[in-house]
Structures are given as structure tokens and as C-alpha cells.
């Protein structure tokens, strides 16, 4: 039985890995490399993810995949410090003492924010799907907490949709990010980077006879008598991992509108640290990026022998014009960097970097099999209300299990 998987991101690779010994697998990938949002590029020493990534202690499926691939020793748990860039300064917000000292929020608002964080894992996420994040925060903590703390985060993450994003998304993010000790949040990473995970998945799939066709966008699909025609070739089963609306445009079933946001992430190699040792700095000041992420303030500097930072930006619709130039100019000026202090920079852009979880998204989550197509991806139940590596691996596994249980005796 021949299975076509559209997309070689973590969902597609996870489904293929799970099915590789029982079915003929062919993955079609439009980019030159696998990995999707978790792809990587070379630096002078090893690889670095094109988009910043880390994982969490509760990511059971990801951790067991890492172990199954023999990467347990590569796994490390690090502390991720955080702060805001405001009025031209990096303000640390990792420890209680730093939060108390932070001058841009009243003591009462800090207390309210602390209480919300403490009870964030006790809310029923399903009940929060119909309420906007703004409404929820203003009701629970007051307008001050929203405008001084959450509004810049939501604006940088969801842009024009920030007032429509559901409280389910926001609260689940707060809950998952509350695993903080005095040195910062406990976050997982692979010492050799996630490229190792992607490469091992590719190797395992090839070893079992599966094929990954990179540089091969799926441009058209159609029903055949017993299955599907994909780019002119016959398959028994399709697993779609891409935006369902785009999949419909190439011939898939119509599941309605899915609003995705794009992500543009610039990676830079620098001669000096501009974040005062912080890992994750959200921009409260207005800039063409919403956060500056100090990768080498998270993993040891010696791993790269240069300071690596990401400038993270989300957008909706078309990629903003001249984004790379705007980001770079702003970054240089804002952080007083001379030309010779920037060793290199590159930008990675993905228009479909994740669905925007606006209110009511829950009712749009597609089933795993619709009109003969298997669906798994960032839009799936396992990725609600925030997409993650864990959710994508889980989605790939769920469809693999469904396919196995339906077709294994064929
Ligand atoms: C900026 C950013 C930071 C993130 N950070 C984290 C993090 O720290 N921790 C975490 O757990 N998760 C993180 N995530 C989420 C995580 O990366 C994703 O959930 C996961 O990688 C998505 O995998 P996927 O396979 O579902 O989708 P994708 O990775 O988007 O894969 C879909 C693939 O389909 C391909 N494709 C699209 N159209 C076609 C076509 N017509 N034909 C063929 N191929 C096609 C695409 O090129 C892509 O390779 C982050 C995501 C982003 C965008």
C-alpha cells in the first residue's frame, strides 16, 4: 500500500517513522530540506535551528522519540532567563527580586500577574475558547496588567489578530511557561541541535525504503478510482500536514477558512552579547521584531564560538516589504552595534508558521480522516491551543495509528 505524505515537517516525519516498516512511504516537500518549522542551517560549528526551539518537561512524545532514536545522552535541561527591552534597556524579569524591581508595572499589577500564573494550570481550557485573551486578562487582573504586560506580547505574536486571540491559547501558554525556579524556566534542548533529530528520522525512513522528495511541491491532487493522484502519480492514501485551506486549493476537500500567521526569523552571529546574559527578551519598545532571543545565553557560547541571537517576528498575509533590511537596521541602531560586530545574518521565512488560535478555533479542528484524506499537523487537536513539537509528533502518530488499524491486514 502506497502512502503519500505532504510535508516533511515533524508531523510528516513522525507519521512516516511510525508507518515505515509496514507501508511504502513517499514524502513530498516543497523546500530543499526537511524539518519544516524545525529545519536548521549550518554555522561555522555545527547547525542551528532556523527558528528558535526548546522543549518542556511534559513533552512525553518528543522525549520518547528522542530516546527511541538513541539521543538520550544528547538531551539537556537548561535554564531560560527572560526580560523586556524597554526604554532602550534590557530589564531582567527572571527572579522574584527582578520582578519586584521592574519599574514599569505597579506592585498590585505584579501581584495580580503572579496570582494568575499560579492558578493558570487550573483553568478549564475548553471554556476559555470563546473568550478573547484581552477580555479574560482585563477581567481577571485589570487593564493595567493587560496593557503593561500582555498587550506587547500579543501584538508581537499575533499582530492584527491580537484582539481576537482566545484566552485558551494565552492561558495554556502561561501554564506551560510557569515551570520557573530562581535561575529561570527549565527548558529542554539537544546538545547537537534539532538537526540531529531530523537527520535521524530521515535516515530511519530511508533505511526502511521510504523516500523524501525535497524540492517537490505538491501542486495538484485528484481522486482516482482506488485512491489519489498526486502530481500525476497514483497513491492509495494521502496524509496532509499543510494548512488545510492551501490543501483545498490544490484539490483537497474544502474545510473552510484557516487563518495562519507567518514567521520571519533573523539569525545573527555577533562578536558580543547585547542581552546582558538574558535568553528571551520581549520588545516592549516598538521594533520590527517582537523578541530578541539570545541562543548562546541559553546554550554554552563555546558551542558556537560566537554570540548567536534570533530576531523573531510574526506577520499576517504577505511578508512585510524589506523586512530583513528593516530588522537589521533597527537592531544595529537599537543595540549600538558596529558593522564589524555583526559576523553574519540570514533570515528564514514561513508564511504558514501556525494557525492563529482566535476565539472559536476549537470547533474548526478537523477530524483525522475526512473524505478519504488523513489530516495531521499544526491545525490538529494535539496542537490545540498552541502548536508545538510535541503536538506535531503526536498528530503524526495519531494518523499513523488510524491508518495501521484500518489497513494493516491488507
Ligand atoms: C518561530 C517558531 C518557533 C517555534 N518554537 C517552538 C518551540 O520552542 N518549541 C516547540 O515545541 N515548538 C515550537 N514551534 C512549533 C513547532 O516548530 C511546530 O509545531 C512543528 O515543527 C510543526 O511541524 P509540522 O510538520 O506540523 O508543520 P511544518 O513544520 O510547517 O511542516 C509542513 C511542511 O510542509 C511543507 N509544505 C507546505 N506546502 C507544501 C506543498 N504544497 N507540497 C509539499 N510540501 C509542502 C513545508 O515546507 C513544511 O516543510 C515553533 C514554531 C515557530 C514557527
Ranges of beta strands (E only) in 126-259 are 180-181, 184-190, 211-213, 221-223, 228-230, 233-235, 237-240
Q: What is the pLDDT of residues 88-114, one digit of tens each?
A: 999 999 998 999 999 999 999 999 999
What is the 49 CA–ligand 1 centroid distance (Å)?
12
Ligand 1 binding residues, C-beta < 6 A: 6-12, 28-31, 36-38, 51-55, 217-218, 241-242, 263, 265, 352-354, 377-378, 387-392
The residue among 290, 264, 261, 266 whose CA lies nearest residue 352 is 261
Mean pLDDT of all residues in the chain? 95
Nearest CA to ligand 1 atom 6: 53
Cα 6 from Cα 405, distance rounded (Å): 21
Residue 51 CA: nearest ligand 1 atom is 1
Which pLDDT score, from 0 to 100, does residue 158 have?
86
Ligand 1 atom closest to 54 (CA): 8
Distances, alpha carbon 320 to alpha carbons 67, 250, 317, in Å:
40, 25, 9
Query: What's the CA gap between 135 and 97, in Å, rounded?
Result: 29
Residue 183, pLDDT > 80, answer: no
**Entry field: residues in the chain:** 410
Q: How far, in Å, from the CA of 340 to the mean position of ligand 1?
A: 33
Confidence check: pLDDT of 152 > 90: no
In 10 A of CB 204, how many CB atoms?
Answer: 17
Mean pLDDT of the region 299-326:
94
pLDDT over 60 (residue 410):
no
**Cα–Cα distance, 396 to 243 (Å, whole number):** 15
pLDDT digits (tens, 9 = 90+) for 62-84: 999 999 999 999 999 999 999 99
Domains, the chain: 2-53+194-257+365-407 (3.50.50.60), 95-181 (no CATH), 186-190+261-350 (3.30.70)
Q: Cα of 384 to ligand 1 centre, how many Å? A: 14
Q: How far is the CA of 10 from the centre of ligand 1 (A)?
A: 7
Instruction: Lowest mean pLDDT of 158-172, 179-193, 215-229, 352-366, name the range.
Output: 179-193
Mean pLDDT of 229-257: 97
d(CA 354, CA 157): 11
Task: Give the pLDDT mean for 243-270.
Answer: 97
Q: Would you give the distance in Å from CA 23 to the centre of its chain? A: 29
User: At 181, is the pLDDT very low, low, confident or very high (cuts 50, 70, 90)?
Assistant: low
Cis peptide before 304 (omega within 30 of 0): no
Q: How far is the CA of 36 from the centre of ligand 1 (A)?
A: 4
Q: Give the pLDDT of residue 281.
A: 96
Task: Please say if the pLDDT value at position 285 is more than 80.
Answer: yes
Q: What is the pLDDT of residue 159?
A: 82
Nearest Cα residue to 68 out of 251, 249, 197, 243: 197
Q: What percent of the chain has pLDDT over 70?
A: 98
What spacing in Å lies between the alpha carbon of 116 and ligand 1's midpoint? 30
SS3 41: strand
Looking from the CA of residue 389, the nearest atom of ligand 1 is 11
- Which residues have C-beta within 8 Å of that of residue 25, sequence separation ≥ 6? 3, 5, 16, 19, 205, 208, 209, 210, 211
Mutation pick for ligand 1 pocket among 5, 6, 8, 9 (CB with most ligand atoms within 8 Å)? 9
Closest residue by Cα to atom 48, ligand 1, is 36
Kindly report the protein residue whose alpha carbon is nearest to atom 29 of ligand 1.
Answer: 36
pLDDT computed for residue 133 by the predictor: 96
Give the closest residue (by CA) to ligand 1 atom 26.
377
pLDDT (0 to 100) of residue 316: 87
Please state which of the ranges 39-53, 87-101, 148-162 shows the lowest mean pLDDT.
Answer: 148-162
Mean of pLDDT values over 183-201: 94
Distance 18 CA to ligand 1 centre (A): 18
Q: How far is the CA of 9 from the centre of ligand 1 (A)?
A: 5
What is the pLDDT at residue 179? 64
Amino acid at each position: 500500500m502506497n502512502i503519500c505524505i505532504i510535508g516533511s515537517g515533524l508531523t510528516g516525519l513522525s507519521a512516516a517513522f511510525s508507518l515505515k516498516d509496514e507501508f511504502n512511504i513517499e514524502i513530498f516537500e516543497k523546500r530543499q530540506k526537511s524539518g519544516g518549522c524545525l529545519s536548521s542551517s549550518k554555522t561555522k560549528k555545527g547547525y542551528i535551528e532556523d527558528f528558535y526551539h526548546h522543549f518542556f518537561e511534559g513533552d512525553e512524545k518528543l522525549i520518547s522519540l528522542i530516546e527511541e532514536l538513541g539521543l538520550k545522552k544528547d538531551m539537556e535541561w537548561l535554564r531560560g532567563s527572560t526580560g523586556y527591552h524597554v526604554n532602550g534597556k534590557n530589564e531582567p524579569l527572571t527572579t522574584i527580586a527582578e520582578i519586584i524591581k521592574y519599574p514599569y508595572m505597579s506592585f498590585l499589577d505584579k501581584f495580580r500577574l503572579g496570582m494568575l500564573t499560579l492558578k493558570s494550570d487550573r483553568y478549564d481550557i475548553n471554556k476559555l475558547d470563546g473568550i478573547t485573551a484581552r477580555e479574560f486578562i482585563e477581567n481577571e487582573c485589570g487593564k493595567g496588567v493587560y496593557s503593561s504586560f500582555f498587550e506587547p506580547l500579543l501584538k508581537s505574536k499575533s499582530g492584527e489578530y491580537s484582539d481576537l486571540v482566545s484566552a485558551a491559547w494565552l492561558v495554556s501558554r502561561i501554564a506551560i511557561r510557569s515551570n520557573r525556579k530562581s535561575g529561570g524556566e527549565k527548558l529542554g534542548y539537544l546538545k547537537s541541535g534539532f538537526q540531529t533529530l531530523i537527520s535521524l528520522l530521515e535516515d530511519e525512513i530511508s533505511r526502511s525504503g521510504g523516500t523524501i522528495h525535497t524540492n517537490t511541491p505538491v501542486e495538484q491532487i485528484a481522486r482516482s478510482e482506488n485512491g489519489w493522484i498526486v502530481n500525476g502519480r497514483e497513491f492509495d492514501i494521502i496524509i496532509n500536514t499543510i494548512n488545510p485551506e492551501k490543501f483545498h486549493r490544490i484539490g483537497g476537500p474544502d474545510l473552510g477558512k484557516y487563518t495562519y500567521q507567518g514567521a520571519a526569523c533573523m539569525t545573527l552571529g555577533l562578536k558580543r552579547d547585547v542581552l546582558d546574559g538574558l535568553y528571551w527578551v520581549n520588545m516592549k519598545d516598538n521594533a520590527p521584531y517582537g523578541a530578541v532571543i539570545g541562543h548562546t545565553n541559553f546554550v554554552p557560547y563555546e558551542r558556537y564560538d560566537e554570540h548567536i541571537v534570533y530576531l523573531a517576528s510574526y506577520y499576517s498575509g504577505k511578508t512585510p516589504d524589506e523586512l530583513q533590511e528593516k530588522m537589521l537596521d533597527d537592531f544595529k541602531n537599537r543595540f549600538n552595534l558596529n558593522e564589524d560586530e555583526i559576523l553574519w545574518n540570514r533570515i528564514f521565512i514561513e508564511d504558514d508558521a501556525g494557525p492563529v488560535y482566535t476565539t472559536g478555533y476549537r470547533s474548526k479542528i478537523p477530524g483525522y480522516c475526512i473524505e478519504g484524506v488523513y489530516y495531521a499537523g499544526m491545525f490538529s487537536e494535539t496542537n490545540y491551543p498552541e502548536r508545538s513539537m510535541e503536538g506535531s509528533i503526536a498528530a503524526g502518530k495519531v494518523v499513523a495509528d488510524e491508518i495501521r488499524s484500518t489497513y494493516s491486514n491488507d
